[in-house]
């Protein structure tokens, strides 16, 4: 089969022929119906290097995956060949206290995980191929009726990551509250939908691109802004109180500074983007009791909740599909900032 593989750091991925995977005991092979192209893949290709992560190339890209069960290894129960499934992307040890709760994104025994701090498409072979080997059946979540793999695939990260960040901040998002979403890309446009579907908060969207701001309006944002002058406009919009929750899907110096400038006392700034920015934290740099937090992905139970939201029509990613032979072009569009929503690679598009 063909697979889009990152062969070394600081390089573009290449389409190569590899053997079809075969499942061992407890493993499952999934026929991929869709694999999302994530902005973090660009960091893997062009910014990361040896020693930065506990894993490295070569591996097949694609950590947002959904499809159909193709083959079951010995001992696997609870799934049938042909069944539509989403692949939970963060692969932990499966046994530590966090993994027992389905929070494999925060596995504390990475020595016994398939790959420390990663998963399929992040150190091990992902879904930008016709088939994908999943090391344990617990990492599969059945798709609810009404949700196809092409639309489910980006929900496994671009939907799950903002859902987790929003869900843990639900107590802040009362009807009088305001949430600010910085960066209306693959994750940000779904964050707006999730905020609207699960809370009564007002949503302010901030992005440099006019077309992204237009998308934010389409998704239900109450106010859309360019970054210049955004802090003052957000303060005015909130009667000078500030935002109860800031979701920063960029993570640059400038966006972190904007979040700190608009967060309300006792509010939260959650940093999700990995653009490498930083912000000085001290007693005086944020309003009283305001928190500066990071987050990584979400849990398996939360993925099931996101998929149910989508199946009920509350959340739907804006996607553009292409075949494996066009995947490098999809990444190029993403790096140039012209891609809206999520690019989804469909290996069997032909």
**Structural domain includes residue 257:** yes
Residue 115 and residue 228 in one domain: no
Contact 330, 320 (CB under 8 A): yes
Q: Against a cut of 0.85, is the pTM above it?
A: yes
Nearest Cα neighbor of 27 from 132, 135, 110 is 135
Residue 48 and residue 173 in one domain: no
Host domain of residue 269 = 160-294
Separation CA 61–CA 333 (nearest Å): 17
| CATH code for the domain in which residue 85 is found | 3.90.180.10
Residue 98 and residue 169 in one domain: no
pLDDT for 350: 56
Residue 283 and residue 168 in one domain: yes
Residue 64 and residue 140 in one domain: yes
Contact 243, 179 (CB under 8 A): yes
**Structural domain includes residue 113:** yes
**The length of the chain, given as a count of residues:** 350
Task: Tell me what the mean pLDDT of segment 133-138 comes to.
Answer: 98
Task: Tell me what the mean pLDDT of segment 26-48 comes to.
Answer: 94
Residue 145 and residue 72 in one domain: yes
| CATH code for the domain in which residue 207 is found | 3.40.50.720
**Structural domain includes residue 35:** yes
Residue 112 and residue 173 in one domain: no
**Structural domain includes residue 134:** yes
Residue 250 and residue 308 in one domain: no
* pLDDT > 80? residue 212: yes
Nearest Cα neighbor of 139 from 166, 165, 116, 113 is 113
**Structural domain includes residue 350:** no
Q: How many domains does the chain have?
A: 2
Separation CA 76–CA 74 (nearest Å): 6
Question: What is the CA 310 to chain-centroid distance, rounded?
Answer: 15
pLDDT for 213: 97
Residue 6 and residue 149 in one domain: yes
Residue 110 and residue 32 in one domain: yes
2-31: per-residue pLDDT in tens?
999 999 999 999 999 999 999 999 999 999
Residue 178 and residue 194 in one domain: yes
* pLDDT > 60? residue 281: yes
Residue 287 and residue 180 in one domain: yes
Contact 67, 32 (CB under 8 A): yes
If you ran DSSP here, which 8-state letter would residue 107 be given? -
């Amino acid at each position: 089969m063909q697979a889009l593989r990152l062969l070394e750091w600081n390089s573009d991925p290449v389409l190569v022929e590899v053997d079809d995977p075969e499942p061992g005991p407890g493993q499952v092979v999934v026929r991929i119906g869709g694999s999302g192209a994530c902005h973090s893949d660009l960091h893997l290709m062009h910014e990361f290097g040896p020693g930065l992560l506990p894993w490295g190339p070569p591996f097949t890209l694609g950590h947002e995956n959904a499809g159909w069960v193709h083959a079951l290894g010995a001992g696997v129960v609870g799934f049938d060949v042909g069944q539509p499934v989403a692949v939970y992307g963060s692969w932990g040890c499966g046994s530590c206290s966090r993994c027992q709760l389905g929070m494999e994104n925060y596995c504390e025994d990475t020595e016994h995980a398939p790959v420390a701090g990663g998963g399929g498409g992040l150190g091990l072979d992902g879904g930008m191929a016709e088939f994908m080997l999943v090391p344990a059946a617990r990492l599969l979540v059945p798709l609810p009726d009404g949700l196809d793999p092409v639309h489910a695939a980006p929900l496994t990260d671009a939907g799950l990551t903002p859902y987790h960040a929003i869900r843990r901040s639900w107590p802040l998002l009362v009807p009088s509250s305001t949430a600010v979403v910085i960066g209306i890309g693959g994750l940000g446009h779904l964050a707006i939908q999730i905020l609207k579907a699960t809370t009564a908060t007002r949503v302010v969207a901030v992005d440099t691109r006019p077309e992204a701001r237009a998308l934010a309006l389409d998704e239900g944002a109450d106010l859309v802004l360019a970054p210049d002058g955004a802090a003052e406009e957000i303060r005015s919009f909130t009667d000078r109180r500030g935002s109860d929750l800031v979701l920063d899907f960029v993570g640059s110096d400038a966006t972190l500074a904007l979040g700190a400038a608009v967060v309300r006392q006792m509010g939260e700034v959650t940093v999700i983007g990995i653009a490498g920015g930083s912000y000085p934290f001290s007693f005086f740099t944020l309003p009283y009791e305001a928190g500066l937090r990071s987050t990584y992905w979400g849990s398996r139970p939360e993925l099931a909740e996101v998929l149910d939201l989508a199946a009920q029509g509350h959340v739907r990613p804006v996607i553009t599909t292409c075949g494996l032979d066009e995947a490098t072009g999809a990444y190029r569009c993403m790096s140039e900032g012209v891609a809206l929503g999520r690019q989804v690679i469909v290996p069997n598009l032909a």
